[in-house]
Structure 1
């Protein structure tokens, strides 16, 4: 693959996404972390790189036929954008579960959108049917050499900006991004380590490596919708075996923590599949290394953003729910709120239940939700309640 040629193809298309040093992720992982923010890329994700490189290289006859693609969202927008810029018809098949923001964004780039199936694999089958019926050229999101070539230009960006990079951490869905990055990075710097990250509910590369062959998972169950792929590409599996040093998995709770830290400390919003590398940083055995996690996309529904923030706050012990029994007499509730204020916590919600059957007849239960600064702060709150003679649960 000619990654330098691909970069030349893309030089007037891409936005610069310079590395961002992260004090918080560096501290949490014991390494020097430099985020590659492809969530700030044109169309909101890295996918424009591979899609544009592929479509640009089509023959004139192929361009006249138009292109079709299947995508959970970001590849859709990359193909739609590239097709519009090059004057080519584009049809995109997307799962019915695709976030509305990705569907609408794809339409705005001028593509015809067909919604079909629950996951990427269902949309792929429908797109292949339409390819056969209408004669379109299929632009695969990951199992294609020209697409991988475009995605690999990310490695060139990283190593141009930080030649002393020791490790690049990359999300894995179908495997196109990591295949391109790993191949390009190892060509430039053979000693570099490439780590892939999958959601535990859709770990198709992990299972393929265990069995030494591409397999189809029975389901892909993860909040990281962009990587909810039941089967990685055959081509990609070959590249992963050859160039990728390690593949780790993270669960949905770990994703919510990474999302919260990125939003709170860097004021950046990235989609769940895009933050897989950030969630995996604490799992790496490397210490004191220069590590670049590729944050691959930022196209996220506002309701999902709200949900991720709330879940992240709970996961990092920033929200604490508890109940306490108090005597049913005037002034007792004020004592409770005073203890909370003394601890420096902020009440989010407070409700008392006079009708719950408690062991002591004249007691009532107070249910409280507070904002805290983390586990140590919660422990301080518990100790203050105990000092005042209250037992909380």
Structure 2
């Protein structure tokens, strides 16, 4: 590695440290402070904005600022460390070319830096890397090699290619020059906001960003807390700090692919262990909700790793009851595959406790479905899945708009009190990922069934109007509804109409005045549901 060696690792200590003890943790020669101040990043990187998240701040009762690293030319902070490492390489090393392993963002940083410096760049990426990141690397002239399911897998292959082809390895996080480059993020934060800051929340993958940020902040403003954030299924740094040594995870969650690291770096572990005040672990649903929060404030869409800091602030405020404090979240990346937005939108409501999911068992008798709907009152229904299947009982999968977790618990008690067996699925991963899309199927009980698609205005009471207009002798044998946040809702409903009752059916359809399509002869219906 180019440049002077960092200070020697110090003895093991707790992850948290008192404010009075923090200055003593900085290397005596201030090597990282000097490295950060002298880092060359602005040949390719820009000074990103520190923007207030006005809506989120108002909702949380605290000032929240977003350090917008998603504004970088490669939509991630990784450009800083990659370029600072490469610009310090010898001419001979650059002539041979560089290689790196990356889940995507570091890869783009290396590729763009190589283009700027005029050298070859080979990028080894996990096969799980989003296509948008692969395409970006190729657009900068990088050579992509896909290998393994995680960063650690790609890292091993990159080391092999380094030896085989005589390339120079550019580590994504465990290198002093890379750490120093990432530390310029903190340098900008303190320059841009010279007033009080209570805490800076930093996503952790391998630990390069938080190491640089902590080294700079603790050297100049030790009263500011540096809080690391990881997902619960990719918490290698948190486990390592607790164990007092680096811990290798057997598997990592891949939703936040930018932080999917099985083993953190030696140097990043040392710095994080010594300087970071606290950690927050967040779940997938909370990250999805945070992506939505940032979009509402900025109209920008972050990748999951980029939203970890925001998710952590919300969780931290809820757990500690903070009021009137100032927090900074580093929005460290925005390389999101468009196709993933469908999943994010689906899970954001649950993550914010704005949607409760239930499995309801109702007696299979006329009027029971309507009686259940009456219990919902003015609440907005976000999803309804029902298919007649048993002569005595029916099962419904229903989503209901809520404001907080306590509301879903209250609803469950209300349903049970009125004789509807209820299972709260709001925290059930199987239900959220799969079951909600699998309710239905063929039914021998669905005789004389007519299938219709309806479109009606999204407003409270629209569903009850639909049910109240039906003939009392008709039975609903299938029902699917999903509120996607549009102005109009879409319903698929199966109605069992006695033979010869077409006149009454036509009168019912006309009275609704809702656009509809008769799907009774649709071949897809006949194949899967009829």
- TM bucket (normalised to shorter chain) is 0.7 to 0.9
Distance 1:199 1:366 in 2: 32
Aligned CA distance change for structure 1 residues 265 and 127 (closer, same or farther; 3 Å): same
Which residue matches 1:294? 330
Which residue matches 1:356? 390
Residue 378 of structure 2 corresponds to residue 343 of structure 1: yes
Q: How does 1:325-340 map to 2 (within 5 A)?
A: 325=362, 329=366
| Matched pairs, number | 383
Which moves more between the two structures, 268-277 or 209-218? 209-218
Distance 2:269 2:409 in 1: 47
Which residue matches 2:253? 221
Q: Of residues 127, 130, 135 in structure 2, which corresponds to 1:104?
A: 135
Distance 1:276 1:237 in 2: 19
Deviation track 1:57-88 (CA, whole Å, cap 9, x = no partner) reads 21111110101000011000000011112111
- SS of 1:3's partner is helix
The answer to whether the Cα contact below 8 Å between 1:343 and 1:384 also exists between their aligned partners in 2 is no
Which residue matches 1:167? 199
Which residue matches 1:197? 229
Distance 2:232 2:292 in 1: 19
Residue 285 of structure 2 corresponds to residue 253 of structure 1: yes
In the alignment, structure 2 segments of 5+ residues that lack a partner are 1-33, 423-530
Larger radius of gyration: 2
Distance 1:166 1:308 in 2: 30
- SS of 1:343's partner is coil
Using the size of structure 2 for normalisation, the TM-score is: 0.65
Which residue matches 2:105? 74
Aligned CA distance change for structure 1 residues 247 and 376 (closer, same or farther; 3 Å): closer
The answer to whether the Cα contact below 8 Å between 2:381 and 2:398 also exists between their aligned partners in 1 is no
The answer to whether the Cα contact below 8 Å between 1:318 and 1:371 also exists between their aligned partners in 2 is yes
- SS of 2:233's partner is helix
Which moves more between the two structures, 314-323 or 123-132? 314-323
Using the size of structure 1 for normalisation, the TM-score is: 0.86
Superposition CA RMSD, Å: 2.9
The higher relative CO (CA closer than 8 Å, separation ≥ 6) is in 1
Shift in Å, 1:292: 0.6
- SS of 1:2's partner is helix
Q: Of residues 81, 88, 95 in structure 2, which corresponds to 1:50?
A: 81
Shift in Å, 1:294: 0.7
Shift in Å, 1:319: 3.5
In the alignment, structure 1 segments of 5+ residues that lack a partner are none
- SS of 2:37's partner is helix
Q: Of residues 254, 262, 275 in structure 2, which corresponds to 1:243?
A: 275
Residue 184 of structure 2 corresponds to residue 150 of structure 1: no
Which residue matches 1:179? 211
